[in-house]
Amino acid sequence: MNFGTTQPTNQAVLDFVRTTAEVTKPDQIFWIDGSEAEKAYLYDLAVKEGVLMKLNQEKLPGCYYGRSNPNDVARVENLTFICTPRKEEVGPTNNWAAPAEMYAKLNGLLAGCMKGRTLYVIPYLMGPAGSPLTKVGIEITDSIMVVLNMRIMTRAGAVAYKHLGESNDFNRGTHSMLDINPERRYIAHFPHDNVVISLGSNYGGNVLLGKKCLALRIGSFLGRNEGWMAEHMLLLCVESPEGKKNYVAAAFPSACGKTNFAMLIPPAKYAEKGWKITTIGDDIAWMRPGPDGRLYAINPEAGYFGVAPGTNMKSNPNAMISASKDTIFTNVALTEDLDVWWEGKDGPVPAKLTDWKGNPWTPDSKEKAAHPNSRFTAPMGNNPVLAPEANDPHGVPISAIIFGGRRATTMPLIMEAFNWSHGVYIGASMGSEMTAAAVGGLGQVRRDPMAMLPFAGYDMGEYFGHWLEMGKEIANPPMIFNVNWFRKDKDGNFMWPGFGENMRVLKWIVDRCNGAAKAVETAVGRMPVAEEFDIEGLKDFTAETFAECQKIDKEEWKNELLLQNEMFLKLYKTLPKELVFERELLASRLS
């Protein structure tokens, strides 16, 4: 069979591919159709080319393994640009470049860069086919790794051409690995043109252009213009024993447990009663007001690009099952029988491994066997608790929005915003300790509003304004909450057990949404009535521990307000007044 030869009829797609090929000069063009036969062919080719290795097929059927260049293991925020005619459009938190200059520079790098290579054309959907929220992207790439990952992460192939029809409304994405050199690495967005050009990297967040580039940076820009929201949020469904479904969206910075939370398994006492959690998405939500005045969300993705280290049968059994077949692993370690391993995986530490750089590794080795940002790319269809709604073109009506960061101090386990604008303030002032998902700054608290600092495609102050505007558009807005699973005691130990036990916090949240739980007002927000919050059955967790988790320390909050102000001052030009007033109100409640 001849793979890769079926061209679409859409003239705009043909023109885009032709003009890109004229610049990049590939040896051949391969048109992705998304079929199963094509998949088998591409994996064989990737193995033949030495890009992927076939893993132990008895233990991990359909699974493959790849290593990246050690200089290319995470998103590069300093090399990520938003290119708009006016610099002010991108605000002080984004890197800006003039479109003409950036196009000229990148076209220079693209010239002839695919000589000796294949140019792959990946048509893909962000969102279920037929949804009014769904967007089409065409990604051109010279990386078979990108092709195989995009086939998992998106609905890729003929389905996208069908959805597109003869329209020219699609995101034009161009990716080339070049020579994987940080000196020639650019992740450039042109929101006014709906264009992304990504060069010099082969790492997921930089090169799977549907994900952070289209779904968040370009998406947030389009959302503001078109009256919807593109957010860095997981989506889950909480089903009560009576069968009532509440849908929840939650924003946490990268590598703060979104995937774990999205696939949470309720503790036995909840499961026995009939509480169920199902997953709609683990990273991105696109939301728009529905005809009934509620906010409706879809997950634009079709797979999980999850952090491997720390994932195990205790922290996230559903992720382990999701990544047990038809999955691509990158930068994890390998066992002698070609199984995968990473720090925090179940079972004893193997005596001998090959580490993520390809070197022999033993438990005495100083370095980690798997890179801290090593990943699995798994189809969402593998998730045992996938919600059928994940494929519903209408999306799901959101009852609650949760914000959260990784904070050792200050922030309580759970609180509720007084109203939408207070909730927007809570999201806008979010801070979190940095993780391995981006290069640099590990462990430092940085402000990461709505977990969107690296992903808002326009000025962050105006982005807050869009949130406030949306609040006016939605007759029946979701309630807003803030959580912190990571608060530590004075000995530096996490106080809250987390993982499945987060169900207890979720239960309070949906009870609040359904008018079934009381709350007490504090200076920072509403909190559970201590005696009513369920801690029964938690090991070594007493009423005192809960009080510690919820404690408002005035000194810490004074400091917090000062730190929040750094971000607000940076954004002073466009910061909505409402948020300044919310901050003043908070300060006066605290004094």
| 414 membership: H or E segment, kind and range | strand 414-416
Interface segment toward ligand SAT; rule CB under 6 A; list 166-174, 189-197, 205-213, 426-434: 205-213
209 vs 150: CA distance, rounded Å: 9
Pairing of strands 526-528, 445-447: unpaired
CA distance 169 to 165: 10
Query: Which DSSP letter does residue 438 get?
Result: B
Q: Which does 447 bind (CB under 5 to 8 A by kind): Mn ion, ligand SAT, none?
A: none
Residue 186 Cβ vs ligand SAT, minimum distance, rounded to whole Å: 16
Site for Mn ion in 93-112 (CB under 5 A): none
Residue number, 195 or 234, with CB nearest to ligand SAT: 234
From the list ligand SAT, Mn ion, none, pick the one residue 305 interacts with, judged by a Cβ distance below 5 to 8 Å according to partner type.
Answer: ligand SAT
- Work out what residue 39 binds among Mn ion, ligand SAT, none; the CB cut-off runs from 5 to 8 Å by kind: none
Residue 283 near Mn ion by CB under 5 A: yes
Question: Based on CB atoms, which residue is closest to ligand SAT, 254 or 382?
Answer: 254
Query: Which residue of 39, 67, 151, 211 would you call a contact of ligand SAT, by CB under 6 A?
Result: 211
Query: Looking at 126-134, 145-153, 276-284, 289-297, which segment touches Mn ion (CB under 5 A)?
Result: 276-284
437 makes contact, choosing from Mn ion, ligand SAT, none, with CB < 5 to 8 Å by partner type, with ligand SAT
Residue 449: what are its φ and ψ, rounded to 5°? -55, 125
Instruction: Give me the DSSP letters along 6-27.
Output: ---S-HHHHHHHHHHHHHH--S
Q: What is the per-residue DSSP string for 503-545? A: HHHHHHHHHHHTT-S-EEE-SSSEEE-GGGS--TT-TT--HHH
135-141 and 118-126 strand pairing: antiparallel
The three-class DSSP label of residue 464 is helix
Query: Which residues pair with residue 494 across a beta bridge?
Result: 488
Concatenated DSSP letters of 128-155: -TT-TT-EEEEEEES-HHHHHHHHHHSE
CA–CA separation, 106 vs 110, rounded Å? 6
Q: Which token pair is 109?
A: 């790098």
Q: Which residue is nearest to ligand SAT (CB)?
A: 205
What end-to-end distance do the CA atoms of the chain give, in Å? 74
Residue 212: CB minimum distance to ligand SAT, A: 5
Closest by CA position to 573, among listed 88, 94, 224: 88
Helix axes 99-110, 11-24, angle to 10 degrees: 60
Taking the least distance from each CB to ligand SAT, the nearer of 128 and 205 is 205
Closest CB 301 distance from ligand SAT, rounded Å: 10
Q: Report the nearest approach of ligand SAT to the CB of residue 331 (Å).
A: 12
Nearer of residues 34 and 205 to ligand SAT, judged by Cβ? 205
Q: Residue 454 or residue 528: which is nearer to Mn ion going by CB? A: 454
106, 199 Cβ separation under 8 angstroms: yes
> Quick one: 67 or 212, whose CB is closer to ligand SAT?
212
By CB under 6 A, name the one of 99, 204, 395, 500 that touches ligand SAT.
204
Nearer to Mn ion, 145 or 215 (CB): 215
Q: Which of the choices Mn ion, ligand SAT, none does residue 135 contact, using the CB cut-off of 5 to 8 A by kind?
A: none
- Is residue 237 annotated as a catalytic residue, yes or no? no
202 or 254: CB nearest Mn ion:
254
**Helix H or strand E segment including 187:** strand 186-190
- Tell me which of 254, 322, 410, 564 binds ligand SAT, using CB under 6 A: 254
**Residue 316's closest CA among 365, 361, 275, 263?**
263
**Site residue total, ligand SAT (CB under 6 A):** 8
Stretch that binds ligand SAT, among 167-175, 203-211, 424-432, 531-539 (CB under 6 A): 203-211
- Give the interface segment with Mn ion, choosing from 97-105, 246-254, 407-415, 475-483 (CB under 5 A): 246-254
Q: What are phi and psi of 521, to 5 degrees?
A: -85, 130
172 binds, among ligand SAT, Mn ion, none (CB under 5 to 8 A by kind): none
- Specify the stretch interacting with ligand SAT by CB under 6 A; choose among 204-212, 293-301, 481-489, 516-524: 204-212
> What are the helix (H) ranges across 193-292?
204-207, 219-226, 258-262, 268-273
Cα–Cα nearest to 180, from 54, 66, 99, 48: 66
Please identify which residue in 20, 30, 33, 75 interacts with ligand SAT, judged by CB under 6 A: 75
Output the smallest distance, CB 23 to ligand SAT, in A. Answer: 27
Q: Which is nearer to ligand SAT, 204 or 405 (CB)?
A: 204
User: Residue 65 Cβ, how far from ligand SAT at the closest point, in Å?
Assistant: 18
Query: Do 284 and 230 touch, CB atoms closer than 8 A?
Result: yes
Question: What pairs with residue 279 in β-bridges?
Answer: 236, 386
Residue of 113, 256, 513, 549 marked catalytic: 256
What size, in residues, is the chain?
591
**212: contact with ligand SAT by CB under 6 A:** yes
Pattern 419-458, ligand SAT, x by CB under 6 A? ------------------x---------------------
Taking CB under 6 A as the rule, which mask of x and - marks residues 386-425 in contact with ligand SAT?
Answer: ----------------------------------------
Stretch 87-106 residues interacting with ligand SAT (CB under 6 A): none
**Nearer to ligand SAT among residue 212 and residue 345 (C-beta):** 212
Q: How many CB atoms neighbour CB 240 within 10 A?
A: 17
Question: If you write DSSP's letter for every residue of 564-587 in order, what string do you get?
Answer: HHHHHHHTTTT--HHHHHHHHHHH
∠ at Cα 75 (136, 493), nearest 5°?
A: 120
Please check whether residue 477 is in contact with residue 420, taking contact to mean a CB–CB distance below 8 angstroms: yes
308 interacts with ligand SAT by CB under 6 A? no
Span from 112-120, 253-261, 271-279, 345-353 in contact with Mn ion (CB under 5 A): 253-261
Residue 118 CB neighbours (<10 A):
18
Tokens 């207890």 belong to 504
CA–chain centroid gap for 457, Å, is 15
Q: Which residues bind ligand SAT (CB under 6 A)?
A: 75, 204-205, 211-212, 254, 305, 437
Catalytic residues, by residue number, are 256
Q: Which residues bind Mn ion (CB under 5 A)?
A: 254, 283
